[in-house]
């Protein structure tokens, strides 16, 4: 048996102290009640007169002493908070406190915390673990730790602007649980758990603690905020998509939103409902793609404030300044001029297109047409020596669109293999056979040629299109960059060193390796916004320790019963 409030030593010491105190009180001379009677004749006959005034008396009432000692011991034990070991075969309990955004509505979080504390009290310390599942997973109470630590660790916690991650946690628990040992998972919150997720972890017994489902009020939230290329075709402009949902299945009015770009308000009149239906979302068109921070807010307050604001960092898409060698002007000018992202200029160019040996563009990244002498490959990609050639090759093949080129036709015409090779050099460069520009190869008239030129120039200029959609709990993905930026912490250390897609845990900001402007992360979780009440009822309730099985209850009942017995004995003059 464990005790919630006191150690076993304190319990024993307390009972011993109470016994000693009661013994001393028993020996102290009692204060007699004054009663005047007609005569003391018969009382003197009935009993010997009590001894004269003394500080202590003989121990006179052992049964009364035993009774009162039993009563105070029971009360002391009840105060100590005894906990019976669970009789469910010693299964291990993982208590998961849902700290996702949906728990911020109403008092559900407080209810969940109260239920969690109650459950912790009734479990043996070495058979339970408490885990926080909010923006991330955090252990609140390890097996064996005293439950008083839980109060301290919960002190600074509150629901985070993050989607429910309980399913991911269940998968981790299912993978890490030891075979042959039952693990009972109890979720304190309303994070949805799909049956498919339960099927992936057959060795887990998952239950959901009952939490009051009181009405939390209506809620409206921003569930989508994304960026796309401008429908107008302008390279340095983007369109922004906003979707607002509520739990009443109604559409939001444009004036319910307040939008600003880097602090400059954008009138609601610029919002246009998608296909005329506000329920499908709104479009903001032709916003400048200059890396600004767009903030969308809901003006009305509701039960869940975490989804009332969303931010997104717009991409920075200046026109690509390309210096074109005069020797290639005839072949490439029209191709380059047709690309809205490219501006042919000599001043401030970022990429140069030239023939081998020309002194144009100096050390700029270059698309260079070379003579196909010897074993020179058709396409040679040169990169700085610090990078991995394989990675550069894979990324470049896809980014430049080499697969779109009819290499077989080129090889037949050239009567030699058409190869792509990666090498190292002082600067970024793509070397291409100059002969491919001739009429003989028919390359310049193919559909792949303008694409090859446009992609090569963008790749050499290291053009980054930005992140169209950055939401908590979803992998960070880019439209065009496979290598992408690395997410770093405040000290510049990479948070995703293995290069796997980074998943922002909660709304806020994340810093990118090569950018001074942090990315904005928003909640954008329809489940949190719409599925507020009773998000999932497919899980059973845990076997709770109720009043009837609470040892404290029985101790108090027993003490009360003994007090009744003492009262009866007192009334019948069997105890003083």
Partner 1 sequence: MAATVTFDELFDPDFLTALSRWSLNAKRVAGGGRHGERLSRDLGSGIEFKDYRPYSAGDDLRAIDWNLYRRLGKVFVRLFEVEEDLPIYLMPDISGSMFLTDSGPPSVIAALRSTLALATVGLNHHDAAGLFPFSDRLQVISKPKSGHTQIMTFAKHLARLAEPGPRIETRLVTSLERLASLNLRRGLLVLVSDFFDPGGIEAIREALRPIRHRMLFVQLVRRSDAEPTLQGDVRLTDCESGDAADLTITPKILARYRAAYAKFNEDLADIARRRQAHLLKIDIEGDLIEQLSRLFEDGGYRI
For binding to partner 1 (CB under 8 A), which residues are involved? Answer: 30-47, 49-51, 60, 570-574, 576
Long-range contacts of 539-543 (CB under 8 A, 24+ apart): 539/187, 539/193, 539/206, 539/207, 539/208, 540/207, 540/208, 541/207, 541/208, 541/209, 541/210, 542/119, 542/184, 542/186, 542/207, 542/208, 542/209, 543/88
- Which CB sits closer to partner 1, 43 or 497? 43
- Which CB sits closer to partner 1, 89 or 576? 576
Report in angstroms how near the CB of residue 46 gets to partner 1 at its nearest.
4
Report in angstroms how near the CB of residue 10 gets to partner 1 at its nearest.
34
Query: Do the Cβ atoms of 210 and 541 come closer than 8 Å?
Result: yes
Report in angstroms how near the CB of residue 54 gets to partner 1 at its nearest.
11
Separation between Cα atoms, residue 462 and residue 293, nearest integer Å: 22
**Residue 69 Cα to chain centre, angstroms:** 54
- Which CB sits closer to partner 1, 49 or 196? 49
Question: Reading across the β-sheet that carries 420-424, which strands appear in turn?
Answer: 342-344, 320-324, 351-355, 366-370, 429-433, 379-383, 420-424
Report in angstroms how near the CB of residue 73 gets to partner 1 at its nearest.
24
Separation between Cα atoms, residue 157 and residue 134, nearest integer Å: 9
- Which CB sits closer to partner 1, 232 or 572? 572
- The length of the chain, given as a count of residues: 576
Going by C-beta distance under 8 Å and a sequence separation of 6 or more, which residues neighbour residue 496?
486, 487, 502
Q: What is the 3-state secondary structure (H, E, C) of 160-216?
A: CCCCCCHHHHHHHHHHHCCCCCCEEEEEECCCCCCHHHHHHCCCEEEEECCCCCCCC
Report in angstroms how near the CB of residue 49 gets to partner 1 at its nearest.
5
- Which CB sits closer to partner 1, 56 or 338? 56
Report in angstroms how near the CB of residue 42 gets to partner 1 at its nearest.
4
SS3 369: strand
User: Could you give the count of Cα atoms lying within 13 Å of 14 in the half-sphere of its Cβ?
Assistant: 17
Report in angstroms how near the CB of residue 52 gets to partner 1 at its nearest.
8
- Which CB sits closer to partner 1, 273 or 575? 575
- Which CB sits closer to partner 1, 35 or 548? 35
Residues 119, 124, 128, 133: what is their CA dihedral angle, to the nearest 10 degrees? 30
Please provide the DSSP assignment of 124-148 as one string: -GGGEEEEEESSSEEEEE-TT--TH
Report in angstroms how near the CB of residue 25 gets to partner 1 at its nearest.
13
Report in angstroms how near the CB of residue 186 gets to partner 1 at its nearest.
53
- Which CB sits closer to partner 1, 54 or 214? 54
- Which CB sits closer to partner 1, 35 or 408? 35
| DSSP-derived secondary structure letter, 248 | T
């Amino acid at each position: 048996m464990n005790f919630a409030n006191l150690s076993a030593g304190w319990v024993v010491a307390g009972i011993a102290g109470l016994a000693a105190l009661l013994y001393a009180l028993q020996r102290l001379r009692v204060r007699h009640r004054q009663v005047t009677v007609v005569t003391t004749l018969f009382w003197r006959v009935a009993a010997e007169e009590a001894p004269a005034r003394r500080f202590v008396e003989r121990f006179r009432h052992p049964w009364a002493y035993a009774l009162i000692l039993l009563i105070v011991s029971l009360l002391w034990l009840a105060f100590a908070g005894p906990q019976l070991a669970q009789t469910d075969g010693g299964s291990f309990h993982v208590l998961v406190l849902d700290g996702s955004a949906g728990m911020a509505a109403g008092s559900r979080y407080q209810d969940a915390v109260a239920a969690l504390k109650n459950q912790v009290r009734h479990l043996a310390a070495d058979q339970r673990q408490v885990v926080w599942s909010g923006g991330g997973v955090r252990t609140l109470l390890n097996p064996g730790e005293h439950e008083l630590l839980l109060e301290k660790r919960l002190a600074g916690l509150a629901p985070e602007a993050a989607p429910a991650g309980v399913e991911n946690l269940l998968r981790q628990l299912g993978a890490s649980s030891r075979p042959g040992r039952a693990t009972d998972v109890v979720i304190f919150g309303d994070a949805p758990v799909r049956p498919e997720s339960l099927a992936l972890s057959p060795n887990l017994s998952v239950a959901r603690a009952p939490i009051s489902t009181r009405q939390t009020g209506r809620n409206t939230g921003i569930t989508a905020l994304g960026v796309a290329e401008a429908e107008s075709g302008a390279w340095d402009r983007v369109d922004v998509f906003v979707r607002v949902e509520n739990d009443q299945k109604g559409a939001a009015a444009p004036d319910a939103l307040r939008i600003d770009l880097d602090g400059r308000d954008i009138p609601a009149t610029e919002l246009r409902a998608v296909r005329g239906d506000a329920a499908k979302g709104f479009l903001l068109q032709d916003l400048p793609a200059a890396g600004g921070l767009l903030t969308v807010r809901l003006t009305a307050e509701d039960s869940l404030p975490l989804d009332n604001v969303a931010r997104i960092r717009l991409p920075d898409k200046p026109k690509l300044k390309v210096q074109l060698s005069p020797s290639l002007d005839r072949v490439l000018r029209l191709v380059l001029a047709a690309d809205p992202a490219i501006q042919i200029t000599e001043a401030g160019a970022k990429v140069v297109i030239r023939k081998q040996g020309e002194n144009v563009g100096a050390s700029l990244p270059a698309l260079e047409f070379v003579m196909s002498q010897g074993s020179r490959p058709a396409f040679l990609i040169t990169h700085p020596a610090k990078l991995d050639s394989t990675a550069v090759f894979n990324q470049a093949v896809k980014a430049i669109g080499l697969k779109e080129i009819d290499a077989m036709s080129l090889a037949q015409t050239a009567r030699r293999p058409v190869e792509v090779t990666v090498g190292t050099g002082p600067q970024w460069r793509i070397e291409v056979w100059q002969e491919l520009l001739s009429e003989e190869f028919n390359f310049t008239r193919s559909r792949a040629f303008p694409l090859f030129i446009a992609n090569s120039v963008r790749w050499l200029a290291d053009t980054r299109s930005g992140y169209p959609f950055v939401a908590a709990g979803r992998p960070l993905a880019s439209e065009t960059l496979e290598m992408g930026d690395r997410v770093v912490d405040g000290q510049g250390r990479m948070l995703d060193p293995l290069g796997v897609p980074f998943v922002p845990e909660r709304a806020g900001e994340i810093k990118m390796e090569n950018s001074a402007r942090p990315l904005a992360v928003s909640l954008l979780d329809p489940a949190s916004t719409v599925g507020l009440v009773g998000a999932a009822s497919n899980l059973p309730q845990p076997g709770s320790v109720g009043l009837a099985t609470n040892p404290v209850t029985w101790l108090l009942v027993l003490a009360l019963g003994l007090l009744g017995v003492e009262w009866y004995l007192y009334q019948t003059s069997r105890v003083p």
